[in-house]
Amino acid sequence: MDLHGIDLNLLVAFDALMAERNVTRAGIRIGRTQPAMSAALSRLRGLLGDELFIRSPNGLQPTPRALDLAEPLGHALSEIQRTLAFTQTFDPAVSTATFSIALSDHPTFKLLPVLIDALREKAPGITLRIQNFVARDDAIGILDAGQADLTIGVPPTSTARILTQPLFEEHFVCVLRRDHPAAASVLDLDSFLSLSHLLVSPENERFGLVDAVLAKMGHKRRLAVTLSNLYAAPLLIARSDLIATLMEGVVTASGHSGALAIMPCPVPVAPVPFALAWHRRNDAHPAQRWFREFIAGLSFGA
């Protein structure tokens, strides 16, 4: 049996014939003429190799083959109708949708616990599928490939097909172990440059934002350790004589802030923005739009 010629219109016609057991009434039910319904029945008979409906004094009687098909095809049509309705309206309270998110390390720690708690209250049936990415422009490839509905990280390079919305900014602070000698006084630029530094670079670069600013000022710091794992840095600082310039939110979320001296950074480093990003093809989808607005409306704390 070749099913390649069966289209959705034929299945709709079959479902109407099962309900009405009359060609004319079935046509009225789905807005088709009697000849169109007869033609649809003829095509179905040829494709399925069965009469499907036999004329009788009481109208069309389904064959055993038609009865076998009625329930699964009716269920399939209901699912299609439900899916099409889902694309027009979205009720998070009853939804069982799955959303996929790709996050860089910091939003994973800062945002994800808040999001999961909020969804448990407002949309308990929703499932999250989480993945990680490192380089900011990895988000573009992930969204182009449809591997995630949205990404959260430092905004990727601007492209027309990728849309973004700011979420929050992170300011930098300097951290030392709490009993470090330099923690006893104000951290000025000279003191800052006299210390050995830990650089956090998720992309394994040896020249960070601080180094770029210092170079413009005609200075250079001594990098003793370069680390790709953002959330390992606070613990390493707490157990060493090193200093690190970290996003304040990382220090707070790490759980090690009590063991650290947190000081204003003497180098004027601009804050780092974090943003939602999504593909333009998903922009108008009601469920996707609701999910983005839901995340943007959350409070992630300091």
Query: Which token pair is 152?
Result: 């959260």
Q: At what angle do helices 8-20 and 34-48 cross, to 10 degrees?
A: 110
- Rounded Cα distance between 150 and 11, Å, is 35
Can you give the C-alpha Rg of the chain in angstroms? 31
Q: How confident is the model over 224-281, as pLDDT tens digits?
A: 999 988 999 999 999 999 999 999 999 998 889 999 999 999 999 999 999 999 999 8
Q: How confident is the model over 163-187, as pLDDT tens digits?
A: 999 999 999 999 999 999 999 999 9
Model pTM?
A: 0.68
Token pair 């407002």 in the structure block, residue: 122
Polymer length in residues for the chain: 302
Q: What residue ranges define each of the domains in the chain, with the CATH number in brackets?
A: 8-88 (1.10.10.10), 98-169+273-296 (3.40.190.10), 172-269 (3.40.190.10)
Share the mean pLDDT of the chain. Answer: 89
Per-residue exposure over 124-147, b if at least 16 CB sit within 10 Å of its own CB, e if not: eebeeeeeebeebebbbebbeeee
